[in-house]
A = this chain, B = another copy of it.
Amino acid sequence: MAVTLKDVAARAGVSVKTASNVVNGYSFVAADNRRRVQEAIEQLGYVPNIGARNLRRGRTGFLTLAVPELTNPYFAELCGLVMTAAARHDWTVLIEQTAGARERELAVINAAHRSLVDGVILSPIGMHPADLATDSAPNSPLVLLGERALGARVNHVAIDNVKAAEVATEHLIGLGRRRIAAIGDQPGQNGTAMLRLAGYRGALRAAGLPDDPALTVPTPTYSRAEGAGAMRRLLDAPNPPDAVFCFNDLLAIGAISAARDRGLRVPADLAVVGFDGIEEGNYSAPRLTTIAPDKLAIAEAAIDLVKRQLDHDGQQPQDVTVPFTLEIHESTHR
């Protein structure tokens, strides 16, 4: 059905290999033959079969990028940036959704597609450190995004989550707030949430504020609906907070929505800080104060680590820390 090199070669009256040489820009082909092959390619509409080429070359030209949910704008934005960075190295990105489920994250690392890709970039949520220990000698590069807490010997790209959470919390303290809640802890997981909680507590402690456990509300995942639910629980309890630090922007947007439904004014009655720096927060009412990681730097570092590990086999796993900024908007304006 499809046009192959054999067809091109036949039409141009040369061997298959000579046709291949033209396609691949090999120098020593007679001008005459080169022209005829090119004409044949043109006329037949030949397109190389990438699968076959990759099989022969032992390189697939694919990377897997696995994120929890594409509907989380943070990951949607990140995917776009990773795809762009990957394209510069002629990689096509396969996006997978894990829903944060441990078994699906492991499937991405280990299973079927592993033979199909040159590397895997994974934003893990459900995985345990032990899960990586078994995979001691992965045959293709693996880069984890945002999970430094997994102590294993793997490539990491992340911001300093503890520091970022401190900065966010200090900002609320600096506004004079004293009952500062945190939404988004994930007890039992030991990933990003744990680090952000540590930063939050550290900032409270440093300011001499009590760490009231009633003000820490866990959520199973990070969505607007869960942010709203958590906020409602905080407002139903006695002695509600005057500020809340949400572990991501979707939670924050949900929290603001729930506060608004109860007639609270943000930021006058309740100041809100999010985390992720998604575009949506720049158009919400009120505009959202947030910790914005440098997503472009994350994407490029991830691609760079994959490439580096592919080029130098014995490469030691690396930790890359990228910068973040606190973007102050209406949701915490005095």
Binding site for B on A (CB under 8 A): 1-2, 47-52, 54-55, 58, 60, 69-71, 73, 76-77, 79-80, 83, 92-95, 97, 110-116, 139, 224, 228, 253-254, 256-257, 260, 279-280, 282-285
Most interface-central of A48, A49, A253 (chain B CB within 10 A)? A49
Which residues of the partner chain B approach A55 to less than 8 Å between Cβ atoms?
Answer: 49, 51-52, 55
Q: A47-B110, A79-B95 are in contact. List 4 more A-B contacts (CB 8 A).
A: A52-B55, A70-B76, A73-B76, A94-B94
Which residues of the partner chain B approach A254 to less than 8 Å between Cβ atoms?
Answer: 283
Cross-chain pairs A/B with CB under 8 angstroms, 12 sampled: A47-B114, A47-B115, A49-B115, A49-B116, A50-B113, A51-B115, A83-B97, A95-B95, A224-B279, A253-B283, A260-B285, A284-B285
Question: Across the interface, do B51 and A51 meet the contact criterion of CB distance under 8 Å?
Answer: yes
Query: Top 5 A-B pairs ranked by shortest CB distance?
Result: A285-B285, A76-B76, A49-B115, A257-B283, A224-B283
Question: Across the interface, do B92 and A94 meet the contact criterion of CB distance under 8 Å?
Answer: yes
Q: Which of B50, B93, B284 contacts A284 (CB 8 A)?
A: B284
Q: Which of B48, B51, B282 contacts A224 (CB 8 A)?
A: B282
- Provide the bound-state CA to CA distance between A51 and B47, in Å: 17
* Min distance, Cβ A310 to any Cβ of chain B, angstroms: 12
Question: Across the interface, do A115 and B2 meet the contact criterion of CB distance under 8 Å?
Answer: yes
Q: Tell me what chain A mostly uses at the interface: helix, strand, loop, or mixed.
A: helix
Which residues of the partner chain B approach A279 to less than 8 Å between Cβ atoms?
Answer: 71, 224
* Min distance, Cβ A228 to any Cβ of chain B, angstroms: 7
Which residues of the partner chain B approach A260 to less than 8 Å between Cβ atoms?
Answer: 285
Which residues of the partner chain B approach A54 to less than 8 Å between Cβ atoms?
Answer: 51
Question: Across the interface, do A111 and B47 meet the contact criterion of CB distance under 8 Å?
Answer: yes
Question: Across the interface, do A283 and B70 meet the contact criterion of CB distance under 8 Å?
Answer: no
Question: Across the interface, do B71 and A77 meet the contact criterion of CB distance under 8 Å?
Answer: yes
Question: Across the interface, do B51 and A116 meet the contact criterion of CB distance under 8 Å?
Answer: yes
Question: Across the interface, do B2 and A139 meet the contact criterion of CB distance under 8 Å?
Answer: yes
| Closest residue on chain B to residue A254 by CB atoms | B283
Question: Across the interface, do A70 and B60 meet the contact criterion of CB distance under 8 Å?
Answer: no
* Min distance, Cβ A226 to any Cβ of chain B, angstroms: 12
* Min distance, Cβ A121 to any Cβ of chain B, angstroms: 14
Question: Across the interface, do B2 and A48 meet the contact criterion of CB distance under 8 Å?
Answer: no
Question: Across the interface, do B73 and A80 meet the contact criterion of CB distance under 8 Å?
Answer: no
Question: Across the interface, do A112 and B283 meet the contact criterion of CB distance under 8 Å?
Answer: no
- Provide the bound-state CA to CA distance between A198 and B2, in Å: 41
- Provide the bound-state CA to CA distance between A254 and B114, in Å: 42
- Knowing A70-B76, A76-B76, A224-B279 are in contact, say whether A48-B115 is a contact too (CB < 8 A): yes
| Closest residue on chain B to residue A280 by CB atoms | B280
